[in-house]
Amino acid sequence: MARGIGTKCLHLEEEEGRCNHYGAISYPIFQTATFAHPGVGKSAGYDYSRLQNPTREHLEKVMASLENGIDALALSSGMAAIALMMELFRPGDHLIVDADLYGGSIRLFGNISEKNGISFSSIDCHKEDVENYIRENTKAIYIETPTNPMMNVTDIAKTAKIAKRNNLLLIVDNTFLSPYFQNPLDLGADIVIHSGTKYLGGHNDALAGFLVTNREDLSERFRFLIKTTGAALAPFDSWLILRGIKTLGIRMEKAQENAVALVNWLKGQKAVTKVIYPGLPEHPGYAIMKKQARGFGAMITFRLKNREFALAILEKVRMIQFAESLGGVETLITYPATQTHADVPQERRERNGITDRTLRLSVGIEDVKDLLDELDRVFAEIEGEQHG
Ligand SMILES: *Cc1c(COP(=O)(O)O)cnc(C)c1O
């Protein structure tokens, strides 16, 4: 019988009933670069940690189980995962990518992949007909849903059908919802990407990235690439992410509950001109989210009436911290225009709706009353100053 996702965060079914490693409940950290061979032409299963390490392998099995894939690869960061994935393509290949993506992905595609002869069509996958952009040399569709930071929602199953029909790969960056709320492989995607730095690790203390697939050919290719290019996740960091994943379920639930309260509070503020959260029934992607995800997540993007108000919030928050990144237990606030999306050309940024009045909240697991008290104080102070 298929187990619940909360249980899968804690128990790896295939290893149960085997009392390994002195019966340790926490998976041991095999802090070793290399492994001794029992004899000539013999291996104990591990040769060198760039290829594989038991701690990393355990994490990879947990990730494959959470995303219902046949294989997962743990890399040193989300960007390392995306860069490795791009090695699937050759000069002359073309990819269709969502216009609103994590800024680092846009930077990689525009500065590295293009230099390597790969071309891109950046389109609004949530509202344009992807099929119109397919060329003879198109090899893949690359999306995030919801997107970072504008929360656009793309129908994964529908996009997967287009990909299959045209023999393209569908690649989904699932960082924003984590496997706890969404499983793109089940909806027809070929590759799922995660920045493990975010919800999976969950504590703002380690970088990690993942590629998960349910295709044997892609798994083999990725195994060759990680061995050859070398950005595998270190044993200790693998252990930190394993530890983080154990509480993924309760963290996601609590962060989402807090996010809903903050969304409702923000909607009641005169200084806030727009609140973008895919759990709001008026969000254009709400119905698709209901269909393809088990939750709406804990990321909120909102717009202030003027730039000064947005900047003043960043100056005045104390418990909520002004920092990049997301998905950790602590609530963080970000200014996408100069932080996560600073390297995205201004024209594209503005077209996507990232203005100098736009802020993004990654809601953590604090007591919600304390988050609301802080926002109350910050907004009251700014309103006092702007009118004074
Ligand atoms: C942070 C992030 C990445 C990059 O991950 P790193 O671990 O920071 O390298 C990729 N995609 C999304 C959606 C992200 O939020």
Domains of the chain: 5-245 (3.40.640.10), 248-387 (3.90.1150.10)
Three-class SS of 55-95: HHHHHHHHHHHHCCCCEEEEECCHHHHHHHHHCCCCCCCEE
What gap in Å lies between CA 260 and CA 281, rounded to an integer?
12
Pairing of strands 299-304, 358-362: antiparallel
- Least confident range from 185-194, 251-260, 330-339: namely 330-339
Q: Specify the pLDDT at position 35.
A: 96
pLDDT in tens, 356-388: 999 999 999 999 999 999 999 999 999 999 876
Q: Specify the pLDDT at position 375.
A: 98
Predicted confidence band of residue 339 (pLDDT cuts 50, 70, 90): confident
What gap in Å lies between CA 120 and CA 138, rounded to an integer?
9
Give the residue, out of 75, 154, 197, with the most ligand 1 atoms within 8 A of its beta carbon, to mutate for a pocket test: 197
pLDDT in tens, 279-333: 999 999 999 999 999 999 999 999 999 999 999 999 999 999 999 999 999 999 9
Kindly state the percentage of the chain with pLDDT values over 90.
89
Predicted confidence band of residue 18 (pLDDT cuts 50, 70, 90): confident
* Paired tokens of 346: 């201004």
Predicted confidence band of residue 341 (pLDDT cuts 50, 70, 90): confident
Q: How far is the CA of 79 from the centre of ligand 1 (A)?
A: 6
User: Ligand 1 pocket, 256 CB below 6 A?
Assistant: no
Largest Cα–Cα distance of the chain, in whole Å? Answer: 81
- For the chain, the straight-line distance linking the first and the last C-alpha, in angstroms and rounded, comes to 64
Kindly state the percentage of the chain with pLDDT values over 70.
99
Predicted confidence band of residue 342 (pLDDT cuts 50, 70, 90): confident
User: Ligand 1 pocket, 207 CB below 6 A?
Assistant: yes
Span 198-209, mean pLDDT? 98
* Closest residue by CA, ligand 1 atom 4: 78
Bond before 146 cis per omega within 30 degrees: yes
Span 154-182, mean pLDDT? 98
* Closest residue by CA, ligand 1 atom 7: 78
Q: How far is the CA of 323 from the centre of ligand 1 (A)?
A: 14
User: Ligand 1 pocket, 198 CB below 6 A?
Assistant: yes
pLDDT mean across residues, the chain: 95
Q: Is 105 within 8 Å of 86 (Cβ atoms)?
A: no
* Closest residue by CA, ligand 1 atom 12: 102
Q: Is 300 within 8 Å of 259 (Cβ atoms)?
A: yes
Predicted confidence band of residue 19 (pLDDT cuts 50, 70, 90): low
| Catalytic residue positions, numbered | 50, 102, 173, 198
Q: Specify the pLDDT at position 349.
A: 85
Span 334-356, mean pLDDT? 84
- Least confident range from 28-32, 43-47, 255-259: namely 43-47
What gap in Å lies between CA 233 and CA 225, rounded to an integer?
14
What gap in Å lies between CA 40 and CA 37, rounded to an integer?
7
Predicted confidence band of residue 254 (pLDDT cuts 50, 70, 90): very high
Q: Specify the pLDDT at position 388.
A: 62
Q: How far is the CA of 82 from the centre of ligand 1 (A)?
A: 9
Q: How far is the CA of 151 from the centre of ligand 1 (A)?
A: 15
What gap in Å lies between CA 245 and CA 98, rounded to an integer?
28
Span 74-98, mean pLDDT? 98
Span 157-181, mean pLDDT? 98
- DSSP-H helix ranges across 1-68: 5-8, 54-66
